[in-house]
A and B are shown apart, each in its own frame.
Chain A
Amino acid sequence: MTVSLFIPCFVDLMYPQVGISMVRIFERLGHKVAVPKTPACCGQPAFNTGYWDESRAIGVPMLEALKDADAVVIASGSCGAMMSVFYPQLFAGTPHEAAAKAVAAKCFEFSSFLVNKLGVTDLGAKFPHKVTFHDGCHGLRELNNKRPPRELLAKVKGLELVEMGAAETCCGFGGTFSAKFPAISTAMGEVKCASALETKADYIVSCDSSCLMQIQGLADKQKKGIKTIHLAEVLAQS
């Protein structure tokens, strides 16, 4: 199978190793990886701010770029939810409605693609650390993605998963929310960090680099010794 990889804008610019890890993992599993000439962004910022026309201006070329893909893997639960859940709403009643539904049906968040589509949980990875897992809200509640990342982590050699109390509590990122309401966003991040610290884990793992940017950014500023890492980077370690 050819896996079409969509690397969202901020992952492209700030977390390229997440995308590189995904390429390595899929190639190791014997799949061909393609990086289609999609827009760099899924259009979620405009969509979430209420500017649906402007969001569609990005969504239309995205639909075009992905129309022939076998399966699209998205390196973010949040952008994954945008493409597989919200595109059909965004394009409802427009000439692109059918195309949006067709693309939505073949979009997968990375961990869900491995477990639910490929049926793979053991990637032979080794990561001898105590970790805790942060559920990104979109992955958890829009994509119902509670199980796949944990099944993947369970097979990593040397890895110990300790759940934190607030695993399902939002980290406070929320896209433009984090800059529009920085005090609220920061307070939410502090609650998250406190819960993660209680586990005494070495790393916070997540499927969303955006959440990790929030958590790591706050922890670094407050000099809290928390390290964050994307699930794909964990799974690429051997």
Chain B
Amino acid sequence: MSAPATHFNEDARRVAPDTRHRGIIQTAMGKYEVVRDQRKLLFQDWQGARNLAARTKFEAVNHLDTHLAEFARNIEARGTKVHWASNAEQARNIILGILRDKQAKVIVKSKAMTSEEIHLNDAMEHAGYEVVESDLGEYIVQLRKEPPYHLVFPAMHLTRGEIKDLFQKKLNDAPSDDPEALTMVARRALRKKYLQADVGITGANFAIAETGIISITENEGNARLTAALPKTMITLVGIEKILPRLEDLALFLPMLAVMGTGQALTCYNTMYGGPRQPGEADGPEEYHVVLLDNQRTTLLADAEQRDALGCIRCGACLNVCPIFRNVGGHTYGTVYGGPIGSVITPHLRGLQQWKHLSYASSLCGACTETCPVKIDLHHHLLQNRRNASAPTTGKPSFLQKLAFKIFAPVANKPALWSLTTKLSRIGMKLRGLVNGSAIDPAQAWTKTRDLPPIAKQSFREWWKEQGK
């Protein structure tokens, strides 16, 4: 078993039975589901909107080369420097190079999962920079020195009491556990940092090819401050975030808000087209956009699963996933958790190391049903399983293969099945003597669940007796 698989299994065994954790997540997601469904009704035809979004994203991904070139040409025309990073190390080096050039000391960041993906904070802190996350949830998990719990809600696993204690300990400032008061604590701390920061780093929700703009959607205004106050702005964006046309935002901004947070639109939707232009009153003096591949083109080469590049990181598949809701965000050990993470992580970081995530699913399909861009998520999990076990593309497990090889003739030959029925009856009776204990061969099931007996007369035995 790979190290990530061992980590996953241990954490899942610890977190899944934790009813306190389960309660926090179920309550939060219950509220999300109500507002999400209300906002979906604002669309005249939600299924039609999904179809259009899926088509638009699929077209964008299928012509990624031309759209990316168009995006770069257009945003560079207004003085932005575009950088191309093939992998995480290149992206880190590009960004560290800019920080060195600018003789930066303090860096303020708005929420960017791509920066988690390339471990940017670690690299910057290691190089001696002070890095501050400005999204409230990200700020909280940064203070706790832990990764975000969820793509959209980084600190959703924490209660306000826990956040109060954290602020008290780390900032020595937490008058109460009132959410507004806690927000003001963070605001006081963060406002100082915006003014000190030399460089602001953001992620991006969409990159518009036609106009060469970056679209960022947020609720706290922190991305605007991150972009507007420091003299240098850097946006790190995965190449799959391309949308062909500006008008595509008319669909994708509300769709992302509805599925991400259950809002009709997020509070702030801002488009960044370059550094401060002559005659403009504000904006950064320099703007850098780092376009990140980091194995996305590997996924692009997979004709079956390419649609996964259409993901807009709304987190809706996590929210409905019964696995996520029971094991929580940290158990996955990945940057991208939940169903989408289980699908793409094997492509981004290696199939054999990460195949366990594709097996850790009941294949219920709630993810695929909810995905606004119609990624065929649960079927991709099946394909990952096949790719991991097929002799041509993966490494079959000798024992599993053998078991299925033996099972085939048992299932295929009525005489063998009849014999198996009789033997099972005896076997199950004997097993019953050690039911649920450590030596019960079925203990993975029977430790927490009873197992029904083999019937005195099976259906096939009954049918034979009918003589029809």
Interface residues in chain A, defined as those with a beta carbon under 8 Å from any beta carbon in chain B: 7, 9, 11-20, 23, 33, 35, 37, 39-41, 43, 45-55, 57-58, 61, 137-138, 140-142, 168-170, 172-175, 177-189, 191, 213-214, 216-218, 220-221
- Do B368 and A141 touch (CB < 8 A)? yes
- Do B389 and A16 touch (CB < 8 A)? no
- Do A174 and B452 touch (CB < 8 A)? no
- Do B363 and A186 touch (CB < 8 A)? no
CA distance A185 to B368 in the complex (A): 20
- Do B368 and A50 touch (CB < 8 A)? no
CB-CB under 8 A from B361, the residues of chain A are 174, 177
Chain B: minimal CB distance from A49 (Å): 6
CB-CB under 8 A from B444, the residues of chain A are 178-180, 182
- Do B390 and A50 touch (CB < 8 A)? yes
- Do B389 and A183 touch (CB < 8 A)? no
Q: Does B327 contact A (CB under 8 A)?
A: yes
Interface residues of chain A: helix, strand, loop or mixed (majority): helix
CB-CB under 8 A from A15, the residues of chain B are 452, 455
CA distance A39 to B420 in the complex (A): 13
Q: Does B2 contact A (CB under 8 A)?
A: no
CB-CB under 8 A from B405, the residues of chain A are 54, 57
CA distance A58 to B421 in the complex (A): 18
Q: A50-B387, A184-B326 are in contact. List 14 more A-B contacts (CB 8 A).
A: A13-B424, A14-B452, A14-B453, A16-B462, A40-B411, A41-B411, A54-B408, A142-B365, A170-B364, A174-B364, A180-B444, A191-B322, A221-B436, A221-B450
- Do A48 and B16 touch (CB < 8 A)? no
CB-CB under 8 A from A35, the residues of chain B are 460, 463, 468
CB-CB under 8 A from B459, the residues of chain A are 7, 11-12, 16, 18-20
CB-CB under 8 A from B350, the residues of chain A are none
Decide: A51 near B363, CB < 8 A? Known: A33-B468, A182-B448, A218-B449: no
The residue of chain B having its C-beta at the shortest distance from the C-beta of A214 within the complex is: B449
Q: Does B170 contact A (CB under 8 A)?
A: no
Indicate which residue in A33, A48, A184 contacts B360 across the interface (CB closer than 8 Å): A184
For this complex, 15 residue pairs linking A to B, each with C-beta atoms less than 8 Å apart, are: A20-B462, A49-B400, A50-B385, A50-B387, A51-B400, A57-B405, A170-B322, A170-B362, A170-B364, A170-B366, A177-B362, A178-B444, A181-B9, A216-B450, A220-B449
CB-CB under 8 A from A191, the residues of chain B are 22, 26, 322, 325-326
- Do A137 and B411 touch (CB < 8 A)? no
The residue of chain A having its C-beta at the shortest distance from the C-beta of B461 within the complex is: A16
Q: Does B84 contact A (CB under 8 A)?
A: no
- Do B17 and A186 touch (CB < 8 A)? yes
CA distance A45 to B401 in the complex (A): 12
The residue of chain A having its C-beta at the shortest distance from the C-beta of B26 within the complex is: A191
Chain A: minimal CB distance from B181 (Å): 33
Interface members, chain B 385-426 (any A CB < 8 Å): 385-390, 394, 396, 400-401, 404-405, 407-408, 410-412, 414, 417, 421, 424
Interface members, chain B 345-400 (any A CB < 8 Å): 359-366, 368-369, 382, 385-390, 394, 396, 400
Q: Does B13 contact A (CB under 8 A)?
A: yes
- Do B408 and A57 touch (CB < 8 A)? yes
CB-CB under 8 A from A220, the residues of chain B are 449-450
CB-CB under 8 A from A183, the residues of chain B are 12-13, 16-17
CB-CB under 8 A from A141, the residues of chain B are 364-366, 368-369
CB-CB under 8 A from B327, the residues of chain A are 184
Q: Which of A51, A61, A216 has the most CB of B within 10 A?
A: A51
- Do A13 and B421 touch (CB < 8 A)? yes
